[in-house]
Structures are given as structure tokens and as C-alpha cells.
Amino acid sequence: MESTGLGLNAIYHLFLIWLFICPLCSNGSWMWLGFTSVGVFEKMECAHLPLTHKQKDLCTRKPHLLPSVKEGARLGITECQTQFKQERWNCSTRGDPSVFGYELTSGTKETAFIYAIMAAGLVHAVTRACSAGNMTECSCDTSLPGTGSPAEGWQWGGCSDDIAYGTWFSRRFIDNSAKNTSIRGEDALLTMNQHNSEAGRQAVAKTMLTDCRCHGVSGSCAVKTCWRTIAAFERVGAYLKERYETSVQVVDRFKRKVRRKEKDHRHMPITKEELIFLNKSPNYCLEDRRLGVTGTRGRRCNRTSAGPDGCNLLCCGRGYNTHVVRHVERCECKFVWCCYVRCRRCETMNDMHTCK
């Protein structure tokens, strides 16, 4: 399925709607929203959204958090696309409310990553808004100052990022605990999604950094003041991508506890940081319209790379076409007295490879 001409901004709006509505939806039933007049959502009001009681309440009481929800969705989507730019599945989004299409409900590693990165994006955006002083219900963490290790020449001070509120909000907003399904298999998917959302929130906590500033005579750094900050979201994305690579398949029938599918490793507990999935992914090589998989035909590949963007892997052994592209740039620039720069126009011919 091709992505429509909708801009990214429209997609965030749609995703916002999806976040709100999904607790009410079983597989794909939010498709009824599949009209494209996005402008409708611009003026949305909590009361008019088909929300659960709990969510309507959250939406009505905290409308000022909606910009953060939107920013969180933007972070999540763009980071997913950055992390998967070179892979067969490249996290492309579509112009309907399911946004991610098949991958949202397939119960695969890709579903796991989407839930984790979206939950993490929300924590990140809300936490930044808290630290910026934009919220009444949260600010930065001032519980640390006064502690630290003065003997070792440093202490906590200043304004540490406080992820507690963002984490709480992300849980309230995304986890659909009130959902009660009768469809078999859906409980497993729900559990999986919640586990992975939580892993995403953990990723923000795990990647937090300590920043310090030196004090003392002429910058001697005799005393340091340190504070905790959340890492740039790219760092969180890279961390989650590693978790995706090592994600764990679990059995789809479990009573209380999630269990590994691989029998030999059943005894190993599953940690909060691990991403889990139920179903094996398709190989994403060939187009499958039913699943909305585009396949890799026409994708640009790198002939010399041994990574996932290498022509062999990306094109699934089908081979590639080579095109020659002309590249024009300014070169041999010289400073001419006085005062301008004179350059020549250089033309190079480069090979570009695309999958067959």
C-alpha cells in the first residue's frame, strides 16, 4: 500500500486520534475513520471523541498536554523511520488512522518496536515540557540537590529532568487496561503491547545522562554540580533498535506470566527492558497488498555495504539495477581579493543501485 500524499503533520493528527481510540478497537475496527478530511481533527474536542470514560476525563482535565502528545507522536514516528531507513521494513506510514498499517496489529518484532518507540516518545515529550516549566502538574526534579558526594568534589544541583510524570502520563494514555476482549489471541496481543510500551518507557530511564558543570577558582573544577537529563531521543531510538534486534519470541497462550517460545530458555525470566513478540515477521522482500507490505523493489541499495542496506540483503538476492546519476557541485573554490569566492562547477557521474 502506498503512502498517500498526506503530510507528516496530518499523520500526527491521525496518530493522535488512533491513540485515543485504540482502546475501543479490536483488529482494524478503527478503519471506519478512514476518511481523509484531516481538517476535522484540527478542531477536535475531547467530548466529541469516542473515548473511554477514563480517557475523556484525562483529555478534559489536561488539554494542555495535547501538544506534548502530538510532539511525542512526531518523535516516535520520525525516530522509527530514521532507525529503519536502511532496512527492508522501513517504518513507512500511511494516510489512514492505523498509520503503521499491518505492523500495528501483526504481533511481530515491528509491532513491538512501534509500541516501544511511541510510548518512549510520549515520556520524552512530556518530560521536556515539564522541565521547560510548561506544566502545572510537574517541573524538574529538585529532590536531588544537597545530596551527592561532596567528598569527591561534586554534588547534585540545578534542575534534573523528572521522568516520573511523563512515565505516569504515558502509561495512562497508552495502556488500555480497561479493555475487555472476547476474541482469542487478542489478550496476548494486548499483553505484548503493554509490555513493549513499558520497555519503551524504561528505555528513556535507562538512557538518562548525568551532566556536570565545574565551579572553582578560574574553572579549576574543584567543585562540580551535576544534574540528570534525558538523552537526545536519537539515543533512545538507538537503544530500542538494539532491543529490537535481540527481541524475544513468546508463546501466545499464557495464563499470568509471559513465557519464552524457545523451550531451552523457558527458565530465563523476561526482563522489563526486553521487547517481546508473538509472531514471526514476513521477510518484507516482495509486495503483499493484503498485508500492506510494499516489498523492496525500487529501493536504493549500497553495493559495497555488508549491512542491511547492502544490495544483496536489501534486494533479497533478486539483483539490482545500476543507474548513472550526474552530480553537480561547486568545487575548487578560491578567495578572490577583495571580497568574493570564485568556484568552478564540477560534474561527477555516480552509480546508483536500486533493487530489481
Ligand X SMILES: *[C@@H]1O[C@H](CO)[C@@H](O)[C@H](O)[C@H]1NC(C)=O
Binding-site ranges for ligand X (CB under 6 A): 81, 85, 90, 92, 128-129, 132, 134, 180, 182, 294, 296, 299, 302, 304-305
Least distance (Å) between residue 154 CB and ligand X: 27
Residue 62 or 299: which CB sits closer to ligand X?
A: 299
Q: What's the per-residue H, E or C state across the chain?
A: CCCCCCCHHHHHHHHHHHHHHHHHCCCCHHHHHCCCCCHHHHCCCHHHCCCCHHHHHHHHHCHHHHHHHHHHHHHHHHHHHHHCCCCCCCCCCCCCCCCCHHHHCCCCHHHHHHHHHHHHHHHHHHHHHHHCCCCCCCCCECCCCCCEEHHHCEEECCCECCHHHHHHHHHHHHCCCCCCCCCCCHHHHHHHHHHHHHHHHHHHHHCCEEEEEEECHHHCCCEEEEEEECCCHHHHHHHHHHHHHCCEEECCCCCCCCCECCHHHCCCCCCCCCCEECCCCCCCCCCECCCCECCCCCCEEECCCCCCCEHHHHCCCCCEEEEEEEEEEEEEEEEECCCEEEEEEEEEEEEEEEEC
* Cβ nearer to ligand X, comparing 17 with 77: 77
Closest distance of CB 302 from ligand X, Å: 4
Minimum distance from residue 293 beta carbon to ligand X (Å): 9
Measured in whole angstroms, the distance separating CA 314 from the mean position of its chain's CA atoms is 22
Q: Which residues contact 201 (CB under 8 A, 6 or more apart)?
A: 119, 120, 123, 167, 170, 171
**What residues form DSSP beta bridges with 352?**
323
Q: Which CB atom, from 262 or from 329, has the smaller least distance to ligand X?
A: 329
Measured from the CB atom, is 161 or 274 closer to ligand X?
Answer: 161
Minimum separation from the CB atom of position 27 to ligand X (A): 18
Minimum distance of ligand X from residue 331's CB (angstroms): 19
> Which lies closer to ligand X via its Cβ, residue 155 or residue 305?
305
* Closer of 95 and 248 to ligand X (Cβ): 95
Closest CB to ligand X among 4 and 143? 4
Which three three-digit cell numbers place residue 208? 538518562
Distance in angstroms (rounded) separating the CA atoms of residues 211 and 37: 45
* Shortest separation between residue 39's beta carbon and ligand X, angstroms: 23
The nearest distance, CB 130 to ligand X, in angstroms, is 8
Identity of the residue, 207 or 296, whose beta carbon is nearer to ligand X in the bound complex: 296
Which residues are 322's β-sheet partners? 353
CB of 182 vs ligand X, minimal distance in Å: 6
- Nearer of residues 269 and 307 to ligand X, judged by Cβ: 307
8 A C-beta contact, residue 331 and residue 344: yes
| Cell numbers at 137, concatenated | 502538574
Smallest gap from residue 35 Cβ to ligand X (A): 23
